[in-house]
Amino acid sequence: MDFPDEHHLRLALETAEARARLAAAALPDRRCEDWRFGKPHRYAAELAALLEGASQSGDIRLQAPRDCAANLSPEEADSELLMRSIGSDYLLARHHAHFGQGVSLLLDGCYDEPIVITYETEGLFLPSTLIMAAPGTKAHLIERHITRGSGCTFCARCIHACEGAELSVELREEGSGSSRTLNITNITAINARVRHLSTHSGHRWAREETLAELLSAPSGSPSDVGLYSANRLSGEQVLDQHTRQIHTNGGAASDLLYKNVIDDKATAVFAGNIYVAPGAHATDAYQANRNMLLSERATVHSLPGLEILADRVRCSHGSASAPMDSEQLHYLLSRGIPQHEAQMLVAEGFLADVLTRFRSAEQA
């Protein structure tokens, strides 16, 4: 497709601005607002040290109904410059410097079977995923990141959905007791419907940044984005999740539900922000973080927030952290179910609400 000169000029200016932003970025430390809980700034330094000298290696597997590139083109690689982060610009710049592997998907049509992308490594792996959904596309994607041993996966992900597209995307993070992961995801919905579900298991530490921007043209149906996450943490695991729901135009709707079951000395961090731009009237946005604590030594930091610069909006947020429901546990114990098994059932029921919300939203 040929674009007018003004498009190329705007893209060039945006790319130059992004290069300058990334070049000026500093390594996050404890004073950085977006890295201040759970001591994750230590993990930023740990990842930066890995990026300094280590070469990356990993395997990519793609199960899709059409041919797709296992390596992004130079033009697609450059698009990563336009990504935004939540306090991780320095790390994103280093990722781009090492860039070279990933999957690019152009989806056009309706797909009956899930499209599966698998990244697997035992060392350091820095893949990128670029998903572009043409108008009217309907697809379900599953992206698996398998990190073995003391490996580290740092993935940059861009998801673009155009008018009338309906996307359901699952991010499944699977690690070992000493593995690490960082994911930066940018979702752009233009009069489209996107559902995103993330699950994390097994990592020593994991950081997930998700930015969703909702754009709606007056001629199309308003954008609708749902963000969901369900996780179980134990040992001394740290899960650090940051989100931004960016409502650029009015009439769009976003929904967020993140739930964690936290045991032993594990730590869960959630910091979310709903931003409603000036003039984005009639916005409908919700954000909720719920945590079940199975140990007195478990730690939760939950910071939902709103920034509303428009009128006639319906925006709210909520946060709750509490021990396991004693009545539910007592009911199961009274039926002869062993205590450990009863606790597992209550915890699974607590997280199942997220999966139900994601699937019902997918089928709606």
Per-residue confidence (pLDDT) for residue 13, from 0 to 100: 77
- Tell me, yes or no, whether 4 lies in a domain: no
- Tell me the whole-structure pTM to 2 decimals: 0.92
Please name the helix (run of DSSP H) or strand (run of DSSP E) that holds residue 111, with its range, or none: none
Number of H helices and E strands in the chain, helices first, is 6, 18
Q: What is the DSSP letter of 329?
A: H
- Tell me, yes or no, whether 208 lies in a domain: yes
184-208 confidence digits (pLDDT tens): 999 999 999 999 999 999 999 999 9
- Tell me, yes or no, whether 1 lies in a domain: no
Per-residue confidence (pLDDT) for residue 158, from 0 to 100: 94
347-357 confidence digits (pLDDT tens): 888 899 999 98
- Tell me, yes or no, whether 246 lies in a domain: yes
- Tell me, yes or no, whether 218 lies in a domain: yes
What is the distance between the alpha carbons of residues 36 and 258, in angstroms, rounded to a whole number?
20
Per-residue confidence (pLDDT) for residue 315, from 0 to 100: 93
Per-residue confidence (pLDDT) for residue 250, from 0 to 100: 92
Per-residue confidence (pLDDT) for residue 1, from 0 to 100: 39
- Tell me, yes or no, whether 2 lies in a domain: no
Q: Phi first, then psi: what are they for 302, rounded to 5°?
A: -130, 120
Residues counted in the chain: 364
User: Dihedral through CA 142, CA 216, CA 12, CA 106, nearest 10?
Assistant: 30
Q: Given CA atoms 102, 163, 12, 88 in this order, what sign does their dihedral have?
A: negative
What is the distance between the alpha carbons of residues 195 and 357, in angstroms, rounded to a whole number?
10
Q: Given CA atoms 34, 39, 45, 48 in this order, what sign does their dihedral have?
A: negative
- Tell me, yes or no, whether 278 lies in a domain: yes
- Spans of the chain below 50 pLDDT: 1-4
234 is in which domain, residue-wise?
11-324
Q: What is the DSSP letter of 277?
A: -
Per-residue confidence (pLDDT) for residue 344, from 0 to 100: 80
- What tokens does 174 get? 């699977």
How many independent structural domains does the chain possess? 1
- CB of 108 closer than 8 Å to CB of 135: no
Per-residue confidence (pLDDT) for residue 2, from 0 to 100: 44
- CB of 265 closer than 8 Å to CB of 294: no
Residue 331, phi-psi category: left (phi > 0), alpha (psi -120 to 50), beta (remainder): alpha
What is the distance between the alpha carbons of residues 112 and 292, in angstroms, rounded to a whole number?
36
- CB of 283 closer than 8 Å to CB of 315: yes
What is the secondary structure of 169-230 as a DSSP string? Answer: EEEEEEE-TT-EEEEEEEEEEES-EEEEEEEEES-SEEEEEEEEEEE--TTSPPPEEEEEEE
- Tell me, yes or no, whether 138 lies in a domain: yes
